[in-house]
């Protein structure tokens, strides 16, 4: 477990990056700018991160860890028999929980605004879904699992972005996403 001072320092650095994303694209943000805005020294920054890219990768890893913990809690609560469809719904729900619970960051992961952040986000979500498909053989797909995972991930993230552009509420977006996802799970894409 990390020292509380280290946790606080890292939190300051991450919060500073998020605040800066409200003002400019990720590509224009520099380590010097993060240090200046966060009132930390470059030595402090580089003690914890090699670059702004390392910082972002850790942020995504934190979010994936948060989703993973939520997923395991949901599985214990409502899927003790490890039903593949319920597990998929739990996985999608946890991705939505992390996305909306950290909306101040994820609002900046749109491909047209920050291509690098979008790519990192997509890759983390894709790897999570792809890993789920590999580990849970009790829900088979009609097409190759990696292509199916890519289809689902692009669809989910695209839906989030479009709905946010349309100024839909979080509750409306979640309801629509889960309804569409349940329809996909019932479709011929998945082998019943």
For 109-156, how does the pLDDT look when each residue is reduced to its tens digit (9 = 90+)? 998 999 999 999 999 889 988 888 887 777 788 888 889 889 988 899
In this predicted structure, what is the pLDDT of residue 133? Answer: 80
Q: Provide CATH code, domain 1-49.
A: 1.10.10
CATH of 55-191, one of 2.40.128, 1.25.10, 1.10.357, 3.30.2310: 1.10.357
| Common-topology check for domains 1-49 and 55-191 | no
Domain boundaries, the chain: 1-49, 55-191
In this predicted structure, what is the pLDDT of residue 1? Answer: 63
In this predicted structure, what is the pLDDT of residue 130? Answer: 87
Stretches where the chain sits below pLDDT 50 are none
Three-state secondary structure of the chain: CCCHHHHHHHHHHHHHHHHHHCCCCHHHCCHHHHHHHHCCCHHHHHHHCCCHHHHHHHHHHHHHHHHHHHHHHHHHHHCCCCCHHHHHHHHHHHHHHHHHHCHHHHCCCCCCCCHHHHHHHHHHHHHHHHHHHHHCCCCEECCCHHHHHHHHHHHHHHHHHHHHHCCCCHHHHHHHHHHHHHHHHHCCCEEC
């Amino acid at each position: 477990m990390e020292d509380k001072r280290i946790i606080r320092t890292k939190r300051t650095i991450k919060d500073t990056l998020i605040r800066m994303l409200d003002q400019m694209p990720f590509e224009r943000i520099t380590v010097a700018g993060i240090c200046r805005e966060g009132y930390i020294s470059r030595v402090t920054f580089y003690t914890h991160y090699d670059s702004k890219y390392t910082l972002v990768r850790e942020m995504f890893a934190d979010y994936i860890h948060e989703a993973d913990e939520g997923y395991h809690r949901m599985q214990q609560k409502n899927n003790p028999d490890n039903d593949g469809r319920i597990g998929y719904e739990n996985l999608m729900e946890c991705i939505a929980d992390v996305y909306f619970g950290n909306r101040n960051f994820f609002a900046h992961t749109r491909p047209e605004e920050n291509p690098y952040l979008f790519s990192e986000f997509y890759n983390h979500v894709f790897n999570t879904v792809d890993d789920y498909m590999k580990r849970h053989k009790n829900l088979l797909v009609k097409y190759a699992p990696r292509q199916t995972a890519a289809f689902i991930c692009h669809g989910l993230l695209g839906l989030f972005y479009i709905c946010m552009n349309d100024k839909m509420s979080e509750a409306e977006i979640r309801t629509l996403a889960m309804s569409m996802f349940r329809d996909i799970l019932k479709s011929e894409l998945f082998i019943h």
